[in-house]
């Protein structure tokens, strides 16, 4: 299966509202030019899911929510439900990102799976990756991202390769069905190539694509490392 590259739009102004649509379309163009070399997904803010999903071909670039709450539908206010993001056009969700840590990961995975969403849970280190892999239900993906490297210029695959390889080994020893990604500081095709050599099945990126002068070219550069 082709590696997965998820572009996290975060809450950057360059990736909000109509800017989110423009950026998603650039990601779609890059995915088309890559001709199946990698699968591409974009993780957008809840308010932008519908407009982004309506503007792109979601078979070419999947749309993920950046987060969901554990609440089901009904008597609650101000929460992001799995059902609402699915209806808006999302096919998956991130969970437990370093910038939005949660404690009830299993409950949210359960809620997401009930809404037929792909689940990606983030882990800061090997120990957290192992803990998440042991959950019932378990996520489809675990992305290991040391928080101190997020947004930096040095990739986790270079700065802490052992965290990547050890996380892959740990997760696979618990549940071989979980796919492992890595993120934090991924800026070049060499970073991607190294991440795959360490056993990952894709990457999670943000600023290197979102804040690039040409996001389409930046994403294509990363995909060329596959």
Which residues are catalytic, by number? 97, 145
Q: What are phi and psi of 214, to 5 degrees?
A: -130, 100
Give the position of tokens 């379309």: 25
Q: Which long-range contacts (CB under 8 A, 24 or more apart) does 29-35 make?
A: 29/216, 30/215, 30/216, 30/217, 30/219, 30/220, 30/223, 31/60, 31/61, 31/219, 32/60, 33/220, 34/220, 34/223
Residue 182: burial class (beta carbons within 10 Å; 0-12, 13-18, 19+)? buried
């Amino acid at each position: 299966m082709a590696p997965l590259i998820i572009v996290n739009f975060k809450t950057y102004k360059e990736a909000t509202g109509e800017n989110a649509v423009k950026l998603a379309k650039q990601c779609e163009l890059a995915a088309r030019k890559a001709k199946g070399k990698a699968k591409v997904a974009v993780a957008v803010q809840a308010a932008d899911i519908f407009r982004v999903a309506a503007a792109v071909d979601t078979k070419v670039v999947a749309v993920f929510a950046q987060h969901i709450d554990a609440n089901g539908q009904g008597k609650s206010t101000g929460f992001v439900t799995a059902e609402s993001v699915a209806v808006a056009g999302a096919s998956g969700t991130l969970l437990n990102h370093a910038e939005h840590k949660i404690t009830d990961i299993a409950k949210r995975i359960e809620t997401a799976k009930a809404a037929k969403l792909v689940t990606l849970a983030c882990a800061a280190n090997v120990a957290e990756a192992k803990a998440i892999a042991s959950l019932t239900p378990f996520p489809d993906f675990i992305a290991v991202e040391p928080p101190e490297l997020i947004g930096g210029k040095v990739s986790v695959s270079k700065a802490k390769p052992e965290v990547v390889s050890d996380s892959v080994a740990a997760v696979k020893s618990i549940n071989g069905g979980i796919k492992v990604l890595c993120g934090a500081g991924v800026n070049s095709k060499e970073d991607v190539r190294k991440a795959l050599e360490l056993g990952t099945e894709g990457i999670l990126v943000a600023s290197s694509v979102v804040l690039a002068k040409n996001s389409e070219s930046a994403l294509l550069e990363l995909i060329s490392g596959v």
